[in-house]
Structure formats: C-alpha cells, structure tokens
C-alpha cells in the first residue's frame, strides 16, 4: 500500500474531524502528501502538526466548501506547494434530522451547499490537475445516496446529486484514465449526528444512536485506500447498504418499508 501512495498529493475536505481526519492520517502514514481542508483552524493545525511530528508531510488550508472562492483557493495553494494533485476526497458533509413537512427550506439549501456544491466547487478546480496525473476523484456518500432515508430529505437529495455529478464526470473522462469512486460508510462514530440540523436549522447537539457501537472512522479510511488500490467504482461498507442497492431494483416497496420501520425506531424519530 505504501508504495502505491508514497508522495501522492491528496486533498481531503472535512479533514478536521471524524472520517476525514482518519483518511488524512491514513494517507500520511502511507507516505502521501496530504492537504487538509475544513473550517475549524485549531483542529486542522493540531492534526497537521501531529502528522508532521510523526514524520509525515501535510499542510492545511482553511476552507468553507460552500464558498466557491475558498475551494478555488484550496486548489491554488495545493498547486503552489506540491505542483499537482493525485487524489481529491470530497468528504466534508453535514446531516439533518426532520421530516420534510416540518423542515425549513433553508436547511435543505445548507445541505446542498455543503454536500453537493462543496463537491462541485472542489472537483471543478481540481479536475484538470487530477486528469494530468490520471488520478482519483472520490465522493464520501452514504446509503442515503442510494435510497431515500426518511427524516433526511436534504441529506439524501444532496448525496443523490453528488452521485449524478460524479457518475457523469466518470463517463465524460472514460478515455482519460480518471478513477472515480463513491464510498458509502455505514453509521460511523463521528460528530455528524451532533452537528445534524433540525427542522429550524439548529444543531441537534446529541446523537440518537449508541455511538460506541458504530463503525470506526479508521475502518472507513482503510477502505478508501483499499478502494483506490482495487479501482472500485462504488464501495458500500455495510451489508445493509449492499442489500439496499440490490433489493431496490427487485422489490423497492419492501426496501421503503424496511427503512420506514428502521428509522421510526430511533429515539425522538421525526417520522
Ligand atoms: P463529522 O461531523 O465528524 O465531520 C464532518 C467534517 O466536514 C468536519 O471536518 C467538518 O469540518 C467538515 N465540514 C462541515 N461543513 C463544512 C464546510 N462548510 N466546509 C468545509 N468543511 C465542512 O462527520 P463525518 O466524519 O461522519 O462525516 C464525513 C462524511 O462522511 C460526510 O460526507 C458524511 O455525509 C459521510 N458519512 C458519515 C456517516 C456517519 O455515520 N458518520 C455515514 C455515512 C456517510 P469543520 O466543521 O471544521 O468545517
């Protein structure tokens, strides 16, 4: 693995926490030059210093992915420092928890701004450089990007939109050696549910799940690197996800009911 990733220039958005942080640390351990992007500068600085003090190569660019000029700046700074890009991991993300009937449309806009438009902006400016190196473009999605997840309309819509974007970019560049991978972790123990927006746009502040029982960010990070090595197209990390992708083509109504019952069992479920 180290041979494959040594000296590769990898940009990771949402690298200040959770899955993105684990991805950044894992690429660095494998000899890559990592560029960390997110809004929380103290966390980015801490993680970058940690990587460097363990002998890794990294720097960070404070970036709000919902702002196009920030994403352009992220790519410019990367090129100035490392003269190219091999891999872009579009990981920055935000979730929500409210039924569509209750939710303020500003929540849906915010979800699209971060999860979808953030991916558009970073990819738009990075793609010419990734193509020069026949590199990899990644979207960190969710089972919510494969089947509608009740109480998460904006989240599902943003991930479906991300899939459409990345799939089309894959096809447009079929002859240019670009690898595009969509990876869908299961429920992973991170800050995502704490920051998830409720109907009026406030942060939920607590997780309805037993976080200690969930997938680890390190497991997801390891699969990002394995997925690149194996040139995966879509990588669903849970059996639930794999079965969803299969059964939605055969018995989609059954999958709807399964999701309805599963999500309605959550404490304080909005459905
Ligand atoms: P975290 O909340 O722990 O991390 C989210 C990351 O996104 C943070 O680094 C945050 O940084 C960053 N981020 C949020 N908004 C912005 C923004 N506007 N600009 C730049 N960065 C931003 O959650 P996860 O690690 O779980 O989430 C990572 C990805 O994994 C997401 O795309 C999520 O949809 C996906 N995922 C997560 C699952 C889970 O159960 N945890 C399951 C399936 C998919 P900062 O606040 O510093 O900007």
Question: Which domains does the chain show, CATH number per domain?
Answer: 2-264 (3.40.50.720)
Residue nearest to atom 33 of ligand 1 (CA): 93
**DSSP per residue over 52-109, as a string?**
HHTT-EEEEEE--TTSHHHHHHHHHHHHHHHS--SEEEE-----B-B-TTT--HHHHH
Contact 23 CB / ligand 1 (< 6 Å): no
Contact 114 CB / ligand 1 (< 6 Å): yes
Contact 237 CB / ligand 1 (< 6 Å): no
Distance from the alpha carbon of residue 111 to the mean position of ligand 1, in angstroms: 11
CB 214 within 8 A of CB 238: no
What is the arithmetic mean of pLDDT over 193-221?
A: 95
Say how many CA atoms lie within 13 Å of 210 toward its Cβ. Answer: 2
What is the arithmetic mean of pLDDT over 217-228?
A: 98
124 by DSSP, 3-state: which?
helix
What's residue 208's pLDDT?
86
Say how many CA atoms lie within 13 Å of 22 toward its Cβ. Answer: 18
What's residue 110's pLDDT?
98
Contact 40 CB / ligand 1 (< 6 Å): yes
Report the relative pairing of strands 234-236 and 87-90 from DSSP bridges: unpaired
Which residue shows structure tokens 């190219």? 84
pLDDT at 21 over 90: yes
The tokens for 96 are 């929500």
CA distances from residue 218 to 42, 112, 190, 208, 222 in whole angstroms, order as listed: 21, 26, 11, 22, 6
The shares of helix, strand and coil residues in the chain, as percent rounded to the nearest 5, are 55, 15, 30
Contact 39 CB / ligand 1 (< 6 Å): yes
Nearest atom in ligand 1 to the alpha carbon of residue 215 is 40
Residue 128's pLDDT band, with cuts at 50, 70 and 90, is very high
User: Is residue 155 annotated as a catalytic residue, yes or no?
Assistant: yes
pLDDT at 226 over 90: yes
Residue 261's pLDDT band, with cuts at 50, 70 and 90, is very high
**Closest by CA position to 61, among listed 105, 9, 112, 99:** 9
Nearest atom in ligand 1 to the alpha carbon of residue 19 is 25
Mean pLDDT for all residues in the chain: 97
Residue nearest to atom 19 of ligand 1 (CA): 64
What is the arithmetic mean of pLDDT over 207-226?
A: 94
Residue nearest to atom 10 of ligand 1 (CA): 14
Residue nearest to atom 17 of ligand 1 (CA): 64
Residue nearest to atom 6 of ligand 1 (CA): 14
Q: Which one of 60, 82, 129, 155 is the catalytic residue?
A: 155
Condensed to tens digits (0 to 9), the pLDDT of residues 107-122 reads 999 999 999 999 999 9
CA distances from residue 139 to 213, 248, 252 in whole angstroms, order as listed: 25, 21, 25
Contact 105 CB / ligand 1 (< 6 Å): no
Condensed to tens digits (0 to 9), the pLDDT of residues 130-187 reads 999 999 999 999 999 999 999 999 999 999 999 999 999 999 999 999 999 999 999 9
Contact 94 CB / ligand 1 (< 6 Å): yes
CA separation for the pair 137, 234 (Å, rounded): 12
What's residue 136's pLDDT?
98
The tokens for 56 are 């890794």
């Amino acid at each position: 693995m180290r041979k494959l990733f040594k000296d590769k220039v990898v940009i990771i958005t949402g690298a200040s926490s959770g899955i993105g942080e684990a991805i950044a640390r894992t690429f660095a351990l494998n000899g890559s030059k990592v560029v960390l992007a997110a809004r929380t500068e103290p966390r980015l600085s801490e993680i970058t210093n940690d990587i460097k003090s363990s002998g890794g190569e990294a720097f960070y660019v404070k970036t709000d992915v919902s702002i196009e000029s920030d994403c352009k700046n992220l790519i410019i700074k990367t090129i100035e420092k490392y003269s190219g890009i091999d891999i872009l991991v579009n990981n920055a993300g935000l979730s929500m928890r409210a039924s569509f009937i209750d939710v303020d449309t500003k929540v849906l806009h915010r979800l699209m701004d971060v999860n979808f438009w953030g991916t558009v902006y970073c990819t738009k400016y990075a793609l010419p450089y990734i193509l020069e190196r026949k590199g990899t473009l990644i979207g960190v999605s969710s089972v919510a990007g494969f089947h509608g997840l009740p109480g998460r309309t904006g989240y599902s819509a943003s991930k479906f939109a991300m899939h459409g974007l990345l799939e089309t970019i894959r096809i447009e560049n079929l002859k240019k050696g670009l690898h595009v991978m969509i990876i869908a972790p299961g429920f992973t123990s991170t800050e995502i549910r704490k920051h998830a927006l409720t109907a009026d746009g406030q942060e939920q502040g607590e997780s309805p799940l037993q976080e200690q029982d969930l997938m680890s960010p390190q497991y997801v990070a390891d699969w990002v690197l394995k997925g690149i090595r194996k040139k995966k197209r879509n990588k669903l990390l849970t059996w639930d996800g794999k079965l969803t992708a299969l059964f939605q083509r055969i018995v989609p109504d059954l999958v709807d009911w399964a999701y309805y019952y599963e999500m309605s069992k959550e404490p304080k479920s909005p459905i």
